[in-house]
Amino acid sequence: MLILTRKEGESLRLGDDITVTVVSVKGGNVRLGINAPRDLAVHREEIYEKIAEGDGNSVSDDG
């Protein structure tokens, strides 16, 4: 696992098409902004696990 340190407003790139930006850090929460191609699915880990288990029909990943 690669571990990086980023401050608010700083970004990292994954390949040519994906940018992850630290939007804010408050208390124990970090808000990330993700720019990725629309055909690439981006999910929180717990949502991805439900989809992988086959429970994806009733799952929403709105934030």
Is residue 24 pLDDT above 90, yes or no? yes
Is residue 32 scored above 60 in pLDDT?
yes
Position 3 in a domain: no
Q: Which of the two residues, 46 and 61, has the higher pLDDT score?
A: 46
Residue 23 lies in a domain: yes
pLDDT band at 6 (very low <50, low <70, confident <90, very high): very high
Amino acid 35: pLDDT: 98
Q: Show the tokens assigned to 8.
A: 């608010």
Q: Which structural domain range is residue 21 located in?
A: 11-58
Residue 60 CB contacts under 8 Å (≥ 6 apart), including other chains: none
* Residue 43, SS3 per DSSP: coil
Q: How many domains does the chain have?
A: 1
Alpha-carbon distance 25 to 43, whole Å? 20
Residue 45: what are its φ and ψ, rounded to 5°?
Answer: -55, -45
Q: Read off the pTM.
A: 0.78
In a domain, 1, yes or no: no
Sequence-separated (6 or more) residues with CB below 8 Å from residue 57: none
Given pLDDT bands bounded at 50, 70 and 90, which one contains residue 27?
very high
